[in-house]
Structure 1
């Protein structure tokens, strides 16, 4: 079974406060030009997207420096819908003895249900520092979440971002539709960011494949 975990890019979609909204304009039409073509203007962090270490670190790696196979691997989803505002280290301690290896960890907070509403930016669940440090030591390729950010909107220092990026981990934000994914069972994940020069981040198509 294939599951699409990606928000469709639209002009009125939620964006990080202060970031420009996407612009999607018809450049050419079949009636006038013989073909249809759109002009896209988007931020590198529009919609469902991947943050590279270069987003915050001066000498951090950009997405275009990662090999294509880095974006494919085994994933695990953790149900955190019972957590409110703060996600603590205790939620993840079982991972130390998890039977199977995995490359990606998806945090399902359930906050994606507020996508398109002002509350999406307000008091969404975030990791506390101990939880972030614990997860950063798991040697993952990336960690993803169904909120706008791994840090509160009002945060200037973005401490959780730094904790992960200093370990060269990628961050996936604004994931959607994680409900059908199995809990504590390994599945295959494809994280496919746009490929462009000096990519500090990029919109991405996130797709899961679950056996059975």
Structure 2
């Protein structure tokens, strides 16, 4: 069975504060023109999307310089349910099914906020040291149901530390995944290939997974 892990794109959908609105409209219609042609305008980090190193690292790789096999591979789905005012601690997750070099997909139950403005409010932070934990474990791609990643702010570190650290180590981040709660504890084959946008720091994706047996 294939699981669709992607939020639908639609006109004026909720987006991360400061990002451009998603605009989808018809340039031509069957009724008027005998053909349908759709126009879309959106930021590269709209909906289910990925971040590549260029997003936070000026010298980092952009989309076109990353091989496609970096976006497709085996993934372990783990869970750390979010709790109000509590950092997400990946040390407490069940890593027993993880194999070194796997992708990691994290379910926090944030997906249940759905496609609303609440999805971008009071986003949980990760415990200090999460970036280093992911790097130490050899994670090649980190996907999750949150719209962004950040660790709790502490002296000497700002809210961009997590992005800079894991992207700076060549890891790919896939944000705003849907339906991950259905796959917790499973090992899957995951795909989130980006559009080929030269120079870009990210891209919307059609993310999906299939259980591995």
Structure-2 residue corresponding to 1:42: 42
Q: Alpha-carbon deviation of 1:99?
A: 6.3
Q: Alpha-carbon deviation of 1:161?
A: 0.5
Structure-1 residue corresponding to 2:65: 65
Contact 1:102 1:186 (8 Å CA) reproduced: no
Name the SS for the 1:16 alignment partner. Answer: coil
Structure-2 residue corresponding to 1:10: 10
Structure-2 residue corresponding to 1:140: 139
Name the SS for the 2:91 alignment partner. Answer: helix
After superposition, the C-alpha distances for 1:159-192 in whole angstroms (9 at most, x for unaligned) are 1111111111111111111121141x32110112
- The question of 1:106 aligning with 2:117 is answered no
Structure-2 residue corresponding to 1:169: 171
Q: Alpha-carbon deviation of 1:119?
A: 3.0
Contact 2:62 2:201 (8 Å CA) reproduced: yes
User: After superposition, where does 1:113-124 map in structure 2 within 5 Å?
Assistant: 113-124=112-123
Q: Alpha-carbon deviation of 1:140?
A: 2.4
Which segments of 5 or more consecutive residues in structure 1 lack a partner in the other structure? none
Structure-2 residue corresponding to 1:188: 189
Contact 2:15 2:117 (8 Å CA) reproduced: no
* Cα distance change on mapping 1:173 and 1:39 into 2, 3 Å: same
User: After superposition, where does 1:74-113 map in structure 2 within 5 Å?
Assistant: 74-81=74-81, 83-84=83-84, 85-92=86-93, 95=95, 100-113=99-112
* Cα distance change on mapping 1:42 and 1:176 into 2, 3 Å: same
Name the SS for the 1:127 alignment partner. Answer: coil
Contact 2:82 2:88 (8 Å CA) reproduced: no
Q: Alpha-carbon deviation of 1:22?
A: 0.8
- The question of 1:210 aligning with 2:211 is answered yes
Name the SS for the 1:126 alignment partner. Answer: coil
Instruction: Give, in whole Å, the separation in 2 of the partners of 1:160 and 1:49.
Output: 17
Instruction: Give, in whole Å, the separation in 2 of the partners of 1:98 and 1:40.
Output: 40
Q: Alpha-carbon deviation of 1:33?
A: 2.4
Contact 1:88 1:130 (8 Å CA) reproduced: no
Instruction: Give, in whole Å, the separation in 2 of the partners of 1:57 and 1:182.
Output: 31
Further displaced range: 185-194 or 52-61: 185-194
Q: Alpha-carbon deviation of 1:89?
A: 4.6
Instruction: Give, in whole Å, the separation in 2 of the partners of 1:48 and 1:172.
Output: 7
